Amino acid sequence: MTSRFQSKWIFADIALVCGIYSAWFLLVIFGNSLPLIVLFVLGGYVTCLHGSLQHIAVHGYPTRWKRLNELVVYPPLAFYYPYPTYRNSHLQHHSTEILTDAESDPESLYLSKTHWENLNAAGRMIYRFGFTLVGRLLIGPVVSLYLLWKSQAQQILNGDIACLRIWAVHLCACGAIMLFVVLVGEMALWKYIVCFVYPGISLTLLRSYTEHQWSDNKQERSIVIEGSPISRLLYLNNNFHWVHHDNPGLPWQEVARVFKERRAEILERNGHFYYRGYDQVLLRLLKDRMIDPVHPLQTS
């Protein structure tokens, strides 16, 4: 089935890949001619979309050749994860026995009770603010990068040579992108970070903010957000997150169709953990927080 779908959608995926890199190239080259707010919106969108492309590569797309997929999506446009690190982390997320578990799920928003108790007052304040949507969008990229780099640096210091190699290649790739931005695009590095990197990561964090919640019923831990055509493209239908977890190998182009055909069944199975669109998610800006920092199974 996977091969058939890959053949069916291969030209659409090639167009997607070419479109993402072409848009990024043009925005870098002509970015200085655009109003800052326009560059911020478009640069963030393209960078986040590239992250969504990396996500589908983890699950075997856009081609049937794993190495080619990795080569296509490897460039770290957001200076974030090295692709191999993201791939391994995301596959662990899909294989965890208890989705959202603070210890075994690397994409869990929750903290373990031990981790929470070891934080000082400033750390707890930062985490609590980061658990609000406004905090996640404003400081989430900095916090996420800090936690990632801290854990990866610890692995390297503990003698993980494979991790060191991955980061050496990643930093070289980041350096190449910086040189292209500054020398070819003649764009100040701060502008690229402000208009591409930061909003790109923030948009990714907007998606992941509501993806999972704890529930005793494992079928009710993943959300469905129908979204608009703009957000569906941005996240390559990963907003239909329950469908993705139910069948991770399903091509992104088929996900919306599957939800439409099985809508009543899926919403019944996931406990109606559902939003119509990201406008409803953004209403959480008015609330204190979506979830408590400590995982519900570890509060006592």
Whole-model pTM: value is: 0.93
Report pLDDT for 283.
Answer: 81
CA–CA dist 46, 273 (Å, integer): 28
CA distances, 159 to each of 152, 155, 163, 175, 179 (Å): 11, 7, 9, 24, 30
Asked if 274 and 224 count as a contact pair (C-beta separation under 8 A), the reply is yes
Report pLDDT for 290.
Answer: 56
- Domain positions in the chain: 2-298
More confident: 277 or 283:
277
Residue 44 identity (one-letter amino acid): G
Percent above pLDDT 70 for the chain: 94
**Among the ranges given (2-6, 77-81, 194-198, 286-290), the one the predictor scored with the smallest mean pLDDT:** 2-6
pLDDT at residue 4 greater than cutoff 60: no
Percent above pLDDT 90 for the chain: 76
More confident: 288 or 114:
114
Report pLDDT for 285.
Answer: 66
Q: Which two tokens stand for residue 163?
A: 């991790």
Report pLDDT for 1.
Answer: 44
pLDDT at residue 3 greater than cutoff 50: no
Tens-place pLDDT, residues 48-90: 999 999 999 999 988 888 999 999 999 999 999 999 999 999 9
Residue 103, classed as helix, strand or coil, is: coil
Tens-place pLDDT, residues 100-149: 998 899 999 888 888 899 999 999 988 888 888 888 899 999 999 998 99
Q: Which two tokens stand for residue 290?
A: 């979506």
Q: Which two tokens stand for residue 201?
A: 């990561």
Asked if 58 and 107 count as a contact pair (C-beta separation under 8 A), the reply is no
Tens-place pLDDT, residues 40-55: 999 999 999 999 999 9
Tens-place pLDDT, residues 145-191: 998 999 999 999 999 999 999 999 999 999 999 999 999 999 999 99
E-assigned strand segments in 136-225: 224-225
Report pLDDT for 183.
Answer: 97
Report pLDDT for 129.
Answer: 87
Tens-place pLDDT, residues 8-50: 788 889 999 999 999 999 999 999 999 999 999 999 999 999 9
**Per-residue confidence at 289, pLDDT binned at 50, 70, 90?**
low
